[in-house]
Structure formats: C-alpha cells, structure tokens
C-alpha cells in the first residue's frame, strides 16, 4: 500500500519537477521574453508585446498551479481570487483555456498573436520556445 501511495504521489507531482516552456508561433514577432513580462501578461497587467496584441492561452488546473507557483509564487486559489476580482471589474477578459499540448500547439500554429506554456518542449514544426524556466528556478 505504501508503494502505491508513493507512485500516486509521484505521478501527481510530476509537473512540479518539469521545465516550463513559453511558446509562440514561429512567425511571432516575439523572440524572447522575461519572467516578469510573462507574469504581467498572465495577470492581465499587460496586453501587448513588441507592439502586438497578445492572446494568452491557459492550461488546466494542474499545469496552471505549477506555472503560477513558479512564475509569481502564487497558489491556484490566490490566482483564482485575483482573476475573480478582475472579471468582476470588467477590465480584463480571462485567458482562453486549452486542455492538451496538442491543442495548445495547434492553436499557436494558427495564430501568431497567441502565447502559451507547456511542461514539454514542442515537437512539431511551426512553434518556437521564447523562454525556458528550468525546474530549479523560481
């Protein structure tokens, strides 16, 4: 039983041990980005990069929790509360959500204005990584 618990714990925590890849369409004007710029985009504080409007793609709760913890040291409940306030004010729209890497990469390939993140490096043509956040960085 202890072994099964250990296996389940490891499987549920695998994204927390992964690098995070910030990805865009290879035609995007954005060549690089900082963690501070990513935080500003994902918190709705910034909407453009390189004078181009950016459409943010969001992931499911597990990836999202790891992403926000590593990028800005916020828990998922803190992020949800933050976005609830923004939605209530009507100032900013929530990022569009994608469920899988395949869906993320397909959406990015169709629109150079989109930006997203993955726990896996892209394996298809047409997508470029503009920032890699190593698993040991905060």
CATH number at residue 73: 3.40.190.10
Contacts of 89 (CB under 8 A, 6+ apart): none
Residue 7 is assigned to a structural domain of this protein: yes
Residue-level pLDDT at 57 = 97
Residue 32 is assigned to a structural domain of this protein: yes
Considering its fold, how many domains does the chain have in total?
1
Residue 60 is assigned to a structural domain of this protein: yes
Q: What is the mean pLDDT of each run of 10 residues along the chain (138 residues)?
A: 48 60 95 95 90 92 93 93 85 87 96 96 94 79
Residue 45 is assigned to a structural domain of this protein: yes
Treating both helix axes as pointing N-terminal to C-terminal, what angle do 61-72 and 35-42 enclose, rounded to 10 degrees? 130
Residue 138 is assigned to a structural domain of this protein: no
d(CA 33, CA 67): 15
Residue 101's domain comprises 2-133
pTM: 0.83
Residue-level pLDDT at 3 = 59
> 25: closest CA among 68, 48, 55?
55
């Amino acid at each position: 039983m202890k072994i099964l618990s250990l296996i389940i714990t490891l499987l549920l925590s695998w994204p927390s041990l992964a690098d995070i890849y910030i990805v865009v369409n290879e035609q995007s004007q954005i060549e690089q980005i900082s963690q501070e710029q990513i935080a500003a985009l994902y918190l709705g504080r910034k909407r453009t990069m390189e004078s181009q409007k950016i459409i943010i793609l969001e992931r499911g709760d597990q990836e999202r929790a790891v992403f926000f913890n590593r990028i800005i040291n916020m828990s998922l409940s803190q992020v949800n509360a933050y976005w609830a306030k923004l939605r209530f004010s009507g100032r900013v729209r929530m990022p569009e959500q994608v469920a899988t890497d395949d869906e993320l990469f397909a959406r990015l390939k169709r629109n150079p204005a989109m930006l997203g993140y993955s726990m896996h490096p892209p394996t298809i043509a047409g997508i470029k990584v503009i920032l890699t956040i190593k698993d040991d960085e905060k």
